[in-house]
């Protein structure tokens, strides 16, 4: 028996609309790329300020620097996953969808701002206010995504909890220095 090898026997994907796979791949790549840039920018700013941070008086309950870095890294990953899950849960790109994506992007910029104020230029009071606004933005995200995807909302819950702790650390450092 000779088999015709000119047309491979590949099943057709009929459940996705035309272009959906490529649109999702491009979107997920963009999310990953943007998140990576933000993560590295924050890492650079933080690294430049670690000598200064090490000279500060911090509360006894402050986790070690490596633990803090691991927590933030994990939270960046869960936030990106939350955004991806939220995007997948959307049937269409409504105004509410676009504004929620803008809140995700705004949150990333707020984290950069907090990092710059705290580690970059050592402005503890403005950094505290920026951290509070970060917390509010995370709460807004949770409230906005919970109806579309409970998983996306739950992935943000540890972020909110950590931001509350980060605000407390920022406040204590501000008072102690």
Q: List, for residues 38-90, the tens digit of each pLDDT value.
A: 777 777 777 777 788 889 999 999 999 889 888 988 998 899 899 989 988 88
pLDDT recorded at residue 48:
74
Distance, C-alpha 92 to centroid of its chain: 23
Percent of the chain beyond pLDDT 70? 83
Long-range contacts of 156-164 (CB under 8 A, 24+ apart): 156/78, 156/79, 156/82, 158/74, 158/75, 158/78, 159/75, 159/78, 159/79, 160/135, 162/71, 162/72, 162/75, 163/131, 163/134, 163/135, 163/138, 164/135
Question: Which domains does the chain show, CATH number per domain?
Answer: 20-55+63-176 (1.20.1260)
The length of the chain in residues reads 177
Mean pLDDT of 99-113: 91
Cα(133)–Cα(110) distance, integer angstroms: 8
Percent of the chain beyond pLDDT 90? 50
pLDDT recorded at residue 158:
98
29-55: string of b/e by CB count within 10 Å (b at 16+)?
eebeeebeebbeebeebbeebeeeeee
Give the chain's end-to-end CA distance (angstroms, integer).
84
Helices 20-54/65-89 angle, 10° precision? 160
Select the more confidently predicted residue: 22 or 58: 58
Select the more confidently predicted residue: 174 or 44: 174
Q: pLDDT tens digits for 116-145?
A: 999 889 999 999 999 999 999 999 999 999
Q: What is the dihedral of CA 168, 115, 126, 141, to 10 degrees?
A: -70
pTM of the complete model: 0.77
Select the more confidently predicted residue: 104 or 5: 104
Place of tokens 């509360």: 59
pLDDT recorded at residue 163:
98
């Amino acid at each position: 028996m000779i088999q015709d090898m000119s047309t491979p026997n590949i099943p057709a994907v009929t459940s996705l609309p035309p272009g959906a796979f490529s649109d999702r791949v491009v979107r997920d790549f963009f999310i990953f790329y943007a998140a990576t840039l933000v993560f590295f920018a924050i890492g650079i700013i933080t690294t430049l300020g670690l000598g200064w941070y090490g000279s500060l008086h911090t509360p006894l309950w402050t986790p070690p620097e490596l633990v803090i870095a691991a927590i933030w890294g994990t939270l960046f990953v869960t936030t990106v996953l939350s955004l991806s899950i939220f995007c997948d849960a959307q049937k269409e790109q409504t105004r509410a969808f676009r504004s929620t994506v803008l809140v995700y992007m705004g949150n990333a910029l707020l984290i950069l701002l907090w990092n710059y104020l705290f580690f970059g230029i050592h402005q503890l009071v403005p950094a505290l206010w920026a951290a509070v606004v970060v917390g509010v933005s995370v709460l807004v995200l949770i409230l906005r995504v919970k109806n579309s995807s409970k998983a996306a909302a739950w992935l943000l819950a540890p972020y909110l909890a950590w931001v509350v702790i980060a605000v407390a650390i920022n406040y204590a450092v501000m008072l102690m220095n």
